[in-house]
Amino acid sequence: MWQILRKKAELPGAARARPGRGKPALAVPAEHLVDHNRIQPPFPAGLEQAMFGLGCFWGAERKFWQASGVYATAVGYAAGFTPNPTY
């Protein structure tokens, strides 16, 4: 049992990944519901993008709304082989 707890988590390879979808299951709005800034390109000149891996999407996203210099936030899945993943 202890060996299971020590094993490093790994993403499944392409052969074991879920098949996903050909197109996104949900429409992504052009602007954020809370601050109304754009969350899809084009963005204002001079901005940079950062990506963070966190637990609960929306609980963690709220902290970024309160951070100085953050223009907009968007949550979702990143990495892996499954196209257009959802819950």
Which amino acid appears at position 62 of this protein? Answer: R
Active-site residue, from 5, 27, 50, 56: 56
CB 2 within 8 A of CB 62: no
Task: State yes or no: is 28 an active-site residue.
Answer: no
Structural domains in the chain plus CATH codes: 1-87 (3.30.1060.10)
Burial of 27 (C-beta count, 10 Å sphere; 0-12/13-18/19+): exposed
Q: What is the pLDDT of residue 4?
A: 64
**Tens of pLDDT along the chain (87 residues)?**
556 677 787 778 889 888 888 888 888 888 998 889 999 889 999 999 988 888 777 788 888 888 999 999 888 877 788 888 876
